Structure 1
Amino acid sequence: MTTVERDTATPAHDTRRRTTRSPSRTRSSTTRASPAPTSKRSPSPIITFQSTSLSPEHPKGVHNITRKVIKRLEGLGHLEMIEIDSPLLEEDESSSGQDEQMELEKMLYALGREAVESTEACAIGANGSANGHAKVTKKAKTDLEIPRKVLHSSIGFFTLYLYVSEGEVSKIVFVLWMALCVIVPADLLRFSSKRFARTYETYLGFLMRESERDSVNGVVWYILGVNFVLSLYPQDVATVAILILSWADTAASTIGRLYGSSTSRLPARVPLLRLPLAPRKSLAGFIAAAVTGAAIAFGFWGFVAPLRAGGRDITWAWDGGVRGAAGASFGGGGALGLVALSVVAGVVSAVAEALDLGSLDDNLTLPIISGGCILGFFKLVGLAASWLTSS
């Protein structure tokens, strides 16, 4: 980089403009009156700036920030400094240069002012108040993960369709296992190949959370959880567990992001049971999951379940309540039984969604825990009914 020299013959009013001399073309003071040659610029130039004194009314802090901004602009390493081989500037050029310098100072002053105000706002928001002013807070834009939530919720509708159309569970499980045979290798390959990772995230990144870019994709845990409940639980219980995963989890996440800051956080543990709860969960999300889970159970066993095979394969029926493996009824039917079942499903959904199980993904644990608890409730009702009948 060539050195930048100050022309000592330049008038006093133009001392702020930097001028340079080309090593190969040195001009003497006798040739200053000749016409100004055109300056030759480098391919990617940046013109250096020199700060001047700001007016007295400008705050000292803003003045210091402006100086730092100018130094940062001059220190950008990826651009080149140019040399300007110019003679004595004419009066109009000098005036134009002064106008440009003033415009630059105004712009930098505005940037400095904005930086100072931003710092003051952060300090006020942290302390609650400052110098008698009201608390200043800036609400960040909430990321609702809409594409991810749409896909998450759509699986619930697809599950309902397969249940009502009497789709074979074994075929569904087989298709899901085949999908895992493609998804898992692709997910592992992006950890070892940066080029593949860029391609993967280009097309599927909008469905991923930021935390999943360096960990296993949530889709893997989702499919594992669905296959688990479809393979081990009765079809109606497994369907409700998948609906809770699709809709209750989505409701809890969305409402929690929107209104969680306006409500209190959940306690560290579930009362009585002492189960750990995630510290990031809010009361708003907990209530959303409970209401959605209760609505799922009420709507499914009250209206949807009887549509499959005439209601012969369901675990709970309006007439007779809980059913055993041989089709025997144990009671707990009717409106009261449906309300009790809905309340249990709602509480189970909310607690299972809020549990903190370490590194386990809730896409895996939520359907397993919610479906297992609902099935356990049916078992308890059956045992209680058998005990009351025998006694």
Structure 2
Amino acid sequence: MSMDVSFVACVAAILLFQYLVSAGQHDVAHNNVARREDLHLQRKFQHLGTGAMIYVALNFFDRLTGASVLLLFALFFYGLHKLRGRSKTVNAAYIKWFRNILRQHEVSRSTLPGAYYFLLGSGVSLAVFPIRAARLAVLHLSVGDPAAAFFGTLYGRHKLVTLFGKLGGNKSLEGSVGCFCVTAISTLAALIVEQDFYFDMTGKEDVAVVAGMVSLAAGLGAAAAELLDLGGWDDNLTLPLLSGVFLQFTVGHLL
């Protein structure tokens, strides 16, 4: 399959996925609304699925091509955000299309959409990190952020603001632990399944040991990146960048 065909197929798959996730029934029974609002299940599924497809798609492109495509789409969402403020028709169509996965502040346009920061964080990660660390950073964003939100919403009792002050934001210890576990397990699975991509070594025992070390570092880095509220910057931007930096400084020599 040529790169052009692969590119079209990947973009088409991602766009189709966005439509399928956001095109669910809009009228939800009242007793389900509160739970759905709390967990944002469709949003988490969209976040996870989109990130997973980007991660897989990076098998077909070199690092800079992938970065260019993601940053181009980030620019598109930025332009669309501005256009929504100028055209009621565009704004209405946007809300109708994506209403099931939009937060209230995204509907009101008080902030840029999460999709913009997701694409920006992924694109910049690919632009500045080596391909192995960059792909892992995208993976961590894909699974770590939804895991933290899911476990934090369900079980979050201990707020990190008591430990870290303003840096802890509204995050919880339970959410951070969930982020660590899910990210570490996902990283280990990726390293084992794609060991030919991530490692130059051939010994299975060596790969297992190194994969374990990298996975623990990945979990720690992603959890730390997720729990810190850095001046109100969106997690979709800070998590992959901080995770990538942490990987490079701790286990980059192993990848």
TM-score above 0.5, yes or no: yes
SS, match of residue 251 in structure 2: helix
Residue 78 of structure 2: aligned partner: 184
Corresponding residue of 1:257: 153
Q: Which has the higher contact order (CA 8 A, sep 6+)?
A: 2
Distance 1:159 1:186, change over 3 A: closer
Q: Does 1:172 align with 2:66?
A: yes
| Structure 2 counterpart of 1:156, one-letter code | G
| Structure 2 partner of 1:363 | 236
Provide the residue aligned with 1:226 in structure 2.
122
Q: Deviations over 1:90-130 (max 9, x none)?
A: xxxxxxxxxxxxxxxxxxxxxxxxxxxxxxxxxxxxxxxxx
Q: CA RMSD in A?
A: 2.7
Equivalent runs, 1:187-336 vs 2, <5 Å: 187-212=81-106, 213=108, 214-260=110-156, 263-269=157-163, 276-278=167-169, 280-306=170-196, 311=197, 314=198, 316-317=199-200, 319=202, 333-336=206-209
Instruction: Indicate yes or no: 2:235 matched with 1:375.
Output: no
Gaps of 5+ in 2: 1-33
Which residue type is aligned with residue 186 of structure 2? I
More helix by share: 2
**Structure 2 SS opposite 1:141:** helix
Distance across 1 between alignment mates of 2:234 and 2:187: 23
Letter in 1 for 2:138: I
* Count of residues in correspondence between the two structures: 219
Identity, in percent, stands at 27
Query: Counterparts of 2:126 and 2:85 in 1: how far apart (Å)?
Result: 30
Unaligned stretches of 5+ residues in structure 1: 1-139, 322-331, 383-391
Q: Which has the larger radius of gyration?
A: 1
Residues 203-262 of structure 1, C-alpha deviations (whole Å, 9 max, x = no match): 1222221122321111111111111111111111111111110111111111211222xx
Match among 32, 35, 52 for residue 157 of structure 1: 52
Normalising by structure 1, what TM-score?
Answer: 0.51
Please tell me whether the aligned partners of residues 269 and 275 of structure 1 are also in contact (alpha carbons under 8 angstroms). no
TM-score (norm 2): 0.75
Q: CA 1:268–1:378 in structure 2 vs 1: closer, same or farther (change >3 Å)?
A: same
